[in-house]
Amino acid sequence: MSEPLHVTNGDSTAHTLEQTPLGGTVLSWRDVLHEGPLRPPARPGFLEARSAFLAAAGWGSAASIAAELGARDDELLVALRSGRPVVLWFEHDLYDQLQLLDVLALVQPAAVPHETLELVQVGSFPGRPGFRGLGELSSRELVTLWPSRVRVTRSLIGDASAVWDDVRAPEPAALAARASASVAGLPFLPAALARLLEELPGPRDGLSRTERQLLHVLADGPRTPAAAFVAAQELEDAPFHGDSWVFRALWELGRGDIRLVETAAGERVPEPTGRADGLVESVSFVEQVELVLTPAGRQVLAGEADRVELLGIDRWVGGTHVCPGALWRWDSDRRELLPPA
């Protein structure tokens, strides 16, 4: 049997897999699918939209990103069509679960063989009560997961593809329904989709959960972006954010005259620079600039003002473009989707 192709969530896990005795090659599924548009449904248009969004966020040129994403897709499909063993390695958080849906939907067409496709999927690990993901495991620990892999059935592929269609729908009603429904073989999916819905504005304050957590940690006193990121991650049930995307959220909250966050010197939050996939931002911004809440930020955090009314909104949550004309909200307490007024 030929050596396997291991498909996983990012470079950290990929590097550790390469150090195991499992053999084969490793493919990182590089995309941050909880950020930016997940439309249109056709694959070429989907990759074009993702490339344009990621380029605007600082990943590089749209053309080079599109080429990278296309080559990634091709490597997986060629492996399956040649009968090569393909093993998917994904964890329980939102970042991974969306990537897993993307992978399974890509191989959904009947013409793509699935007989050599297997899945390792974990939400915990023995001896690690604070387990956050595959990237923190050693090569020896990853090898212990090898016997737990299961064959990916055509039924699972079809179910995952249907969920992916609902995630990418132009309105989030189907996504909300999926967050309350189980899918055999994908036990971590409902919680992950519920977390995605929490990126919609809240009914009381207009904040996403990410934004609310950032305001909460800044309410305790000045913090650098790096310190705010670490503290906000501690408030997550299953941390999934990369630091650069949290820095961009702080920048969004710190723009304009009626900003919710500003520097300790009373200035707007500077825009983070550099590639937005976890590479180091400007040290002066990440580790030296201290951020504080403004009076408006404290009002919003207390539910006395609305973030959307103060700052406006232009955000994608799955396939839903959240903007003033399509202001969907999510009530986390009631687990209820609120349509535009």
Profile the chain (341 residues) by mean pLDDT over runs of 10 residues: 91 95 96 95 94 92 97 98 97 98 96 96 94 95 97 98 97 97 97 98 98 98 96 96 93 93 94 54 73 98 97 97 96 97 88
Q: Strand 117-122 relative to strand 150-151: parallel, antiparallel, unpaired? A: antiparallel
DSSP3 helix / strand / coil % (the chain, rounded to 5): 40, 15, 45
User: Is the distance from CB of 222 to CB of 291 less than 8 angstroms?
Assistant: yes
At residue 273, the pLDDT reads 67
pTM of the predicted protein model: 0.95
At residue 286, the pLDDT reads 81
Through-space distance between the first and last CA atoms of the chain, rounded to whole angstroms: 58
At residue 278, the pLDDT reads 41
Instruction: Provide φ and ψ at 181, rounded to 5°.
Output: -120, 140
DSSP E strands, 190-328: 261-263, 291-293, 315-317, 320-322
At residue 122, the pLDDT reads 97
The Cα-based distances of 265 to 53, 217, 225, 290, 292 in angstroms read: 32, 19, 15, 8, 9
Instruction: Supply 246's token pair.
Output: 């949290």
At residue 253, the pLDDT reads 97
